[in-house]
Structure 1
């Protein structure tokens, strides 16, 4: 079988990846918004964490992980910050991280997406595999949020509504 990698440089451009990722971030924000404030911080099923805890994990990975890729400086993985049990505070942090991702992405031009890295000083992979992990982890936790919302009798946003 012919090596496809040798025929084409990529399937998706870096800017197309960013657009796709930011579409997912828009959708995850809508899921956060759909939660009643008390349920966002307290509701869980089957021993899973409340959705707010999952959101804090996402906030601790995406923007800090991208910052680490861009700067080359190891970042400590931190999955908790003080939010005062306020949905508004979580949304502000989400929006800030989203803006920072856009800003950091402008510095990705010279980054080798196949370069071996150690995310957060402990997770081996490549720049590309790390970025896919950031996105896939968000999708995974958003799906848990969907289950929570449905169990609360709340219709979640349509999975394709990324605008």
Structure 2
């Protein structure tokens, strides 16, 4: 009988350090997207009923630092309350929040133990799954919303940063 992946002790495909570096590469690219938006469109421009890019960035911020904090502590604030704590009305304010979240992730992420990655959490009391799945969700969510930003920039006649340039 063949052993399942969960029953067999294996060497991980990637380390937590590599996972963090991958995520931070995506965050660097998203930061470039924020910088590429015209100041007057960042908080207002919308297509087809989608939220403005700044609102999407606030969602990413709500998940990132507070999410990692919850994964470590096991204590989760209400998502809506956390989201309301991120206030920005200018690109500079949004970038400041982004950079603070990046520093928070860099500080907290290494505190996630290898065992913790496989423990089940209920992120913000809503999404239940292993810690590693939740981190992938945060990354996937960022990529998804950044894709919306690409559509916005192209519709404004602005060449967005290259999707592969995460340095």
Whole-Å separation in 1 of the counterparts to 2:51 and 2:101: 22
Q: Decide which of 48, 64, 77 is 1:75's aligned counterpart.
A: 77
Q: Decide which of 157, 163, 166 is 1:162's aligned counterpart.
A: 166
**Structure 1 equivalent of residue 107 of structure 2:** 103
Whole-Å separation in 1 of the counterparts to 2:143 and 2:54: 15
For residues 9-52 of structure 1, the C-alpha deviation after alignment (integer angstroms, 9 at most, x for no partner) is: 42111110000000000000000000001100010000000000
Whole-Å separation in 2 of the counterparts to 1:133 and 1:34: 25
User: In angstroms, what is the RMSD of aligned CA positions?
Assistant: 1.4
**TM-score normalised to the size of structure 1?**
0.94
Deviation at 1:79, TM superposition (A): 2.5
Q: Residues 147-158 of structure 1: matches in 2 within 5 Å?
A: 147-158=151-162
**Structure 2 equivalent of residue 31 of structure 1:** 33
**Structure 2 equivalent of residue 46 of structure 1:** 48
Give the gaps of 5 or more residues in structure 2: none
Structure 1, 4-13 or 31-40: larger mean CA deviation: 4-13
For residues 72-105 of structure 1, the C-alpha deviation after alignment (integer angstroms, 9 at most, x for no partner) is: 112221334321x200000000000000000001
Deviation at 1:123, TM superposition (A): 1.3
The verdict on how the C-alpha distance between 1:111 and 1:87 changes in structure 2, with shifts beyond 3 A counting, is: farther
1:120 aligns with 2:124: yes
Whole-Å separation in 2 of the counterparts to 1:3 and 1:86: 51
**TM-score normalised to the size of structure 2?**
0.92
**Structure 2 equivalent of residue 3 of structure 1:** 4
Q: Which runs of 4+ in 1 moved over 6 A?
A: none
Q: Any conservation in 1 of the 2:16–2:110 contact (CA below 8 Å)?
A: no
